Amino acid sequence: MRSSHKTGDYPDLLAGALMIGLGGLGLWAARDLTFGTAARMGAGYLPDVTCGFLILIGAVVVGKALSKNLLTTGHWNVKPLLVLSIAVVGFAILAENFGFVISSAWLLVTASLADRESRWREVVTSTLILTVAGALVFVWGLGVKLSILPF
């Protein structure tokens, strides 16, 4: 599904497949829950019913998509998403161990790699400003529970 082809990918097929997949995942996750009856609903009652609907809707979406004209999903460019993921997950790991300044600098510098247009001079300046301002406003001012420096 994560093809980088520019044509031949139906958005509706993807949507339908996603719904069926999520519905299936939900049914599997709810496999051990009690279903119960309408009068005494178990924890699994509504999840199972919702997943059933979801799979049904997904199947209809897929069915309709197959009979429709070719429609592409638009250009898949997952690089920014991947770079942002690395930046954000890194922030999460660094924040609790090394404090706000280091994690914020990591986030801002890494995230700026997601855009080809970024210029180093600007990145350094904005990282400095945002990190200092963020430490003052959020950690010191609003009391977000993070240490500012690693020590």
Site residues (CB under 8 A) for another protein, limited to 79-98: 79-81, 84-85, 87-89, 91-93, 95-96
Q: Which of 98, 124, 138, 147 binds another protein (CB under 8 A)?
A: 138
Tell me the residue length of the chain: 151
> What would the two tokens of residue 66 be?
């197959």
* Helix residue spans in 30-147 (DSSP H): 45-67, 79-112, 120-134
By CB under 8 A, tell whether 101 contacts another protein.
Answer: no
Site residues (CB under 8 A) for another protein, limited to 22-81: 22-23, 26, 29-30, 33, 37-41, 43-44, 46-47, 50-51, 53-54, 57-58, 60-61, 64, 73-81
Q: Which of 4, 69, 121, 145 binds another protein (CB under 8 A)?
A: 145
Maximum distance among all alpha carbons in the chain?
66
What is the C-alpha radius of gyration for the chain, rounded to an integer number of angstroms? 23
